Chain A
Amino acid sequence: MSEGIFWLASYPKSGNTWTRAFIANLRHEEPNEEVDINTLHTGAIASCRGWIDEVLGFDSADLSHDEIDLLRPAIYRWHAREANDGGYHKVHDAYTYLPNGEALIPAEATAGALYIMRNPLDVAISFAHHSNCSIDQSIENMGTPDFTFCGNTRRMTNQLRQKLLSWSAHVESWADASEINRLVVRYEDMRNDSLATFTRMCSFLGLPDDEYSVQIALDNCAFDKLQQQEKEKGFSEKAPHHESFFRKGKVGDWQETLTPEQIDRIVNDHHTVMKRFGYLDGSGNPVTALPLDRVS
């Protein structure tokens, strides 16, 4: 029996795929070669229809989104108990509760949740590229309290509906989910202080956390290497309209890309959470990311 599932939770475009590439490389038997980005078999995403249907024995496609959500906790409990896949499962759903009071992601199925967050000023840009929409639209989406992925009811989607909520509510839902064991990391620390941050992530996830292993895996999933692989052979997780998935990965891109109005709107929508996680300074001005020791 396994001891539960490790979730890799994040709002989209916050460093989840990079984390999965890191884990895949860390667990790779041949540390001298990079793992192919098209075979990052770290574990199914929580909203993967196939992963759900394999436990159901009938088609989830004949159920409504709300009906499926009611079945999800039992499915995750089953996977946690029976499937010894040692998987690290990505999840973009916010940490929400069902109408019956049960958590969508049950605590008893969870070994831990690594929550990866990124400055919403940078997320807005990356999310716009990913969704093939304007930056203003992605800012609007990030501020929408009931924003969802795959919520279309007129056709079948490969993934189940995911309630993302607003960016702030997404962060708070996971960061404050006191019934589960969790570690919150910031993308900016993963970029700027990689070794220390990934070492903490490894310790939390029960992965090898010695300096040698972490550094080799980090080298193998360096952003330029992921970009190069995508250029050479494409990336199956890229959205169709999207020019490339591994685009810039840059910290602080907002300083060059966003207009003052766009920055104001994001700060206005998310100031409480931005302040809490060091994306606003003492005077309430946006910053890339305050050093961790200055984040209360």
Chain B
Amino acid sequence: MMYVSTTERMSFLADNPPVQELHVCDSQLFSAIRNHMRALFVAIYSPEGDARQNEPALALRMEMMKWLTSPLIPNTDLLLSFGLVNELHTRHRWGEYAVREVMALKDLISRYREEGSVLNKEFVQVFCNLTVEFGQDRLKIWCHRNERDLFRALLDGLTVLEDHAFICSLAEYRSCPPADALIRFGPLRTHGMAKTPEALITSPAYRRLVRFVWKGLTDEEQFAADPLVPEHNWLTTMRSVRHSVTDSARVGASPLVEEPADDIVFFAGTKGADRGMHRCVLVELPGDWGVLLRPGTSQLIFAPLRNDCDAIAYRHIIDVEEGDYLLIHDADADFGEISVDAAKAPLAAVWKKALADLYKRQSGLCVQKMKDAGISLRHLHRAAESWMSLNGSVIHAPQRRDHFQALLTCVIDPELIPPRSHNGQAVPGWRLAWAEVAASRSTAVEHGVMESAIVNEQLIVELRNELGHLRDMVSPDGGYHHLLTPESGLAGSVRFDPVISIASGFAAPQEELGKPMKLLVAEQYRYESGDAL
């Protein structure tokens, strides 16, 4: 990382007021593809369906976003991979309209691939001019890490773009010395699928911002308003020069080929109903995977740019940055099992023996009595066998108090445990036995929490000891799997997953949080700021 002093940054800003050069491109052919993609999406997307049922539609939507915000040239691979080009299958599943849209898209996409993208051509031309003007080392491209090869392919034969020609995260942006020109594809939005860090505009580290945007995709109105002084908008106060570029390809008179709409807004409005959703952030990991996490949670993080003393620590997700590593571990330590001591659970020993006697004698009758008593569990035989045993770290018993009461008062002899007088009041036997069960559960929970705290603490100590080795082994392009040594007193392993990006504006059901999932599935949980949760 290169050190850039505050004075260097501030002087650069004072001496070089940033200028925006906006290249807005229009293509009839591409507009037609956009329109047909929207129509096909509507035909195959089911608003009531879940992410798995809607996978083809979600993949289509994701692909469309890439076409709109990156140099990716449309192709028909996606239609093929989901069987959409199979007429019979498509007609059967989604109807005749979908088949027509697929056919139109196939034709348009193959024509477009022959013609080439006017946006990409404009980029190549401008990049060559900028290289002459400033020198290639003074140019940077801000893009998603996965898009770097697309830019390399565009400039294939003209120049070679090394990794340092790209900025893929805010952390990289902050650590880079100011550039002469920063290149960026797509509109500027704070939400949705074209989300861009406002720092790109509010914290300029360039002389010229060169942007390539498809017609119809405007910047968000309030984008780059100062967070503390909202009346000051850094985008509207930036000097701007606009170039419009149109390609010559014609599609013919078609009602679909009109003024291009804002597809990003359109697709943002197409998502499933919100059912018990929790706000979360999407942490993007390599290989088009990601994990949704609650914003307030602490995660074990390796931050390679920090000093040794605070490189590995639990951090709030708000403090995690692109380039850090999310640590997922299954570390465990053998603290010895705590088990139920029969001497400390005398009542459990009594009712469990009675239950065991009854079940062994007449298991059918025992289960019938349980049913009649209102113990409405699906597997009563398995439950009875579990409740009879007296081992493990807790007293196995019904989870619900009313089930426990029913077991001791209706299934086995209700007089088995005599009532006891307490403060002049008789406490029934089943309540005394329930108190014993509850106490064993709280001990087990306490033990578990303490074990977990000890493991977490020891894990940090162990990883800090290995820091030199870890710094050598981790790589931003893929994860690293670190096996814990027995000397550490821990067993298991730790996976280091590089954080590619963190995007807020997601809401997902509880069961999806913390679970690695494909990005296109995670996209389903993106919500707009106006959505009620």
Partners in one complex: no
Residues on B close to A: CB < 8 A? none
